[in-house]
Structure 1
């Protein structure tokens, strides 16, 4: 059997910065038409690995082997420089004048970029698309993509997914966008503490696989040294537990969506709650017939809505549609051209806008949070030690004392989120918070937002994150029209699909076949199972917590190795059963909702 030779190989690659290994003797190969998801924490070395693969940095040890005349296309996290030249001239300069102009123009047209537009006038999303065009032109053998969905709207992300699915070369992708990775990947590389682990499966299998590795590692640490290493204790074990806790939060979110759907008013206009909701302390913002235009272009047209306390609203729309304008109108930063906006008097607004203007790059994370000095920070009005709070956001002591200018963009965004979320607020505005964040930070952010007692407005194109967080989607649908949908992104997509009118079928002289009976509600056994599962899950969760407390005793293994082993086995059994029951509960709840909406 003939084995296809790899396009690119690293063998025992070693890279170090400041004495600490970033890549610790790792080996990998990329083959023709490969589809690889590269995941790992911010600062773990993913971008360094891309530079090593492309040959842009020298290895401190090991070897890099590339196929002769290998063409590599690179999309890093940089934006197009604000030069005073057209996009087309910039690409000719960057990729070589030997390329025919029509090839460049074709790449730009797919990405909906005007080739004559000046670089100095580009938005972040337009600049990102230019750099994507630069990576794609010439059809390289390997595409190395570092956070390709950052700054892109959903329409462009979906176009990119479709284009990359049929791309003839190999692709390696760094991304926090779970939906994007699940759609494209066939293999998964996990860079963790300098080591590379390889899963020969799609990214959808990653979390279960990674949790299993970390649990085995944690048990090994307990048996060998009677304690878990500090990083394992506050990071990896915490992340695994956080994912399990988020299953409970996801159940609560689905119940809340069901309640909102049952009380939802007519869909003809935008309304975040039932039309008969009382106006009082629960009201956060109310808009009546609001219009906003710029240079005669309608941005917001006849917007009437109520935002109530506890609503979690995801805002979707193409770049330039008016999402930021809407946020500024709702928070009072700008005034409408027509209409009226009423806000609660006691609003405490916290805004994350990702500009990082609030960060002094000469300070470290500790100094950034403790602006007046000392080691205490007030988090939502409660005092906490700054190091404990920073550990919640995955900063160890070394990172906490490192100047911000030496941290990655993702680490700085993580710190900015920690700073914003510490502020007392009851109205939280997050404008694209997921860009440059790793998946562990997204799990952490999900936990904070699920517990947030106030109202949330979230601008994001991360479909998986929207599904996990939001109770409503507010979508810009062109010409200034804004429409509300109950649920997360998947609910929005289904409602949009179902709203498309169907073409009438042609009459047929043949008698119509007998229609199969349609299930309109859960069966008796399914309904009974659904009613019993929450209590069973709570009981199992309590047992798991009790067993985890027993195993956390550092003297347990010394006192009774046999009991320690039996408790560990029982814990694994209960965890597996809990996971299966949680999945079954969500499956039945989702089926019940679909039946109520006539989708099954």
Structure 2
């Protein structure tokens, strides 16, 4: 079934259009991700499809049998009403029956007569199946106490309530629904995100979404639409395929622009020589000249962030925690936590919402004090704290002014400098955008500017609390490139699995009740380990060990088995690094062997290569023995 047709759509804000003359179709069962830089029209396009905004030109046709349901980034509720009243706001008999039944269920001693009537109504409307589905959605999104007013909820809790409302709306009666979602994974922990992935797949909905979560995008979507330079590009397949096709397109664009610039230089010379009187032939050539000029003036926005930054030197002492305890009432966050940070360490912090991750980070920064124990910060440490409060500006100013108020230049390790304007361009703020007032930026652009302002201060210990929320995919790629070459320490609190896999060395897993596990690996490895552990526990609960009474026999003297020694974190990390080093050495040996066997090496290179192959063999022996020692425990 054909759901949506968009033809010739154009929308402008301020000086230039967000997008111009774009067209596309949405068919039943499509699952499409919309990708673009922040401030380039993603949310505007979604609002146009929902009828909340009008285009400057073009048409949007939606099949009369299709209902459009949207989850926005900003949640809107009736503040004086409860969670339940907001979720079941639709005036429909089934929803009204469920609302009445659930309200009575929340009471400690409900009126027996009313409760009986509510049950009878549920029976009459055959609403029990849908009530079970509602309970599953609310439970998975950790939404309880349905009589609580939404005005008392945090921003993250309100986002989960809004998501629950949307999922309940699409599941309840609309057979043909276009579900539009703007950053649906914000404020969800990983178990919720994985559940949502499965739910959207099973419900077989038609979906158009904006997301920064690349694993979620890959799992849910089968098509990607990109708004770039006011045009729309469509790619079938997953995110990896999108990156490959986009790279190819960028190369073709680059070649096309370069060709147009060469033509433009020739035509410009011809135009300057033209007399004022125009013939028909020269007029057509002059018209063609302006077309070439437009193509030659095209901006190629793609930038690579290659900053070998000059960072404040890290001393021998970085950050040390000794027997740290912290609790809020009955909630224990840390229970005798010990850890000493090392140079260049990259730690991910994960755990369910409400277990104390942000409190832990605030203690490291000195914003909160532990109940007992010591947190010693090295004298050379300069923290860069990117938190969820966002950008704080005392008065409205232009983007370039805001950055220059921090510093005029960014120092590099080779002694050179990058100006504030150049640094802004590296983070995808065009020269035109740099002179925009901060109040005119989109929410995502403000997040990007906030992040840039933290990095521009040149800290040597970065603390990033949910840095990927509301950032577009190109900016995330830039941030990842920056962090991979960043020489300082990094702590990241994030539910973005792709981002964590790419950046962190190991994890602090907050398991609750003050327990923090130091896991030697990335996020995906931890999730696999956790699933294996969960399956083992299920198997053990199904098949409890049978107690066998010992048979009385003549006593034998046996040598007690040596206790199995558990590897320390340091040894686990050494084992991982050894595997990589051994693989690299084996590849190097193969390369040298093939060069020596080829017989084409100049004489002056023969001796050094022969000497090096001996060194490689010796290193392989040493590292192989050490790997054997560690792996056998």
Instruction: Say yes or no: TM over 0.5.
Output: yes
Q: Displacement, 1:151? A: 2.0
CA contact under 8 A between 2:324 and 2:370: conserved in structure 1? yes
Q: Displacement, 1:363? A: 1.0
2:160 aligned residue (110, 123, 129): 129
Runs (5+) with no aligned partner, structure 2: 99-129, 265-294, 308-313, 546-578, 595-626
Runs (5+) with no aligned partner, structure 1: 247-279, 508-520, 537-593
CA RMSD after TM alignment: 3.3
2:501 aligned residue (455, 461, 467): 467
Distance 1:451 1:350 in 2: 16
CA contact under 8 A between 1:286 and 1:342: conserved in structure 2? yes
Matches within 5 A, 1:187-266: 187-226=223-262, 232-233=299-300, 235-236=301-302, 238-239=303-304
CA contact under 8 A between 2:38 and 2:442: conserved in structure 1? yes
Residue 431 of structure 2 corresponds to residue 400 of structure 1: no
CA contact under 8 A between 1:80 and 1:130: conserved in structure 2? no
* 1:595/1:120 CA distance change after superposition, 3 Å: farther
1:448 aligned residue (461, 466, 482): 482
* 1:596/1:370 CA distance change after superposition, 3 Å: farther
Matches within 5 A, 1:89-488: 89-93=85-89, 95-96=90-91, 98=93, 99-100=95-96, 102=98, 105-106=134-135, 107-114=137-144, 115-139=146-170, 140=174, 141-226=177-262, 232-233=299-300, 235-236=301-302, 238-239=303-304, 281-360=315-394, 362-371=396-405, 376-379=408-411, 383-488=417-522
Which stretch shows the higher mean deviation, 40-49 or 483-492? 483-492
Q: In structure 2, what is the equivalent of residue 579 of structure 1?
A: none
Distance 1:534 1:461 in 2: 44
Q: In structure 2, what is the equivalent of residue 33 of structure 1?
A: 29
* 1:376/1:346 CA distance change after superposition, 3 Å: closer
Distance 1:9 1:386 in 2: 43
CA contact under 8 A between 1:188 and 1:202: conserved in structure 2? yes
Distance 1:448 1:525 in 2: 27
Q: Displacement, 1:65? A: 1.2
Q: Displacement, 1:97? A: 5.5
CA contact under 8 A between 2:140 and 2:192: conserved in structure 1? no
Q: Displacement, 1:317? A: 1.4
Q: Displacement, 1:506? A: 11
Q: In structure 1, what is the equivalent of residue 564 of structure 2?
A: none
Of structures 1 and 2, the larger Rg is shown by 2
CA contact under 8 A between 1:111 and 1:156: conserved in structure 2? yes
Q: In structure 2, what is the equivalent of residue 493 of structure 1?
A: 527
* 1:474/1:215 CA distance change after superposition, 3 Å: same
TM-score (norm 1): 0.74
SS at match of 1:176: coil
* 1:432/1:52 CA distance change after superposition, 3 Å: same
Distance 2:244 2:591 in 1: 22
The number of equivalent residue pairs is: 483
CA contact under 8 A between 2:347 and 2:491: conserved in structure 1? yes
Distance 1:532 1:155 in 2: 44
Distance 1:533 1:81 in 2: 65
TM-score (norm 2): 0.70
Distance 2:246 2:327 in 1: 49
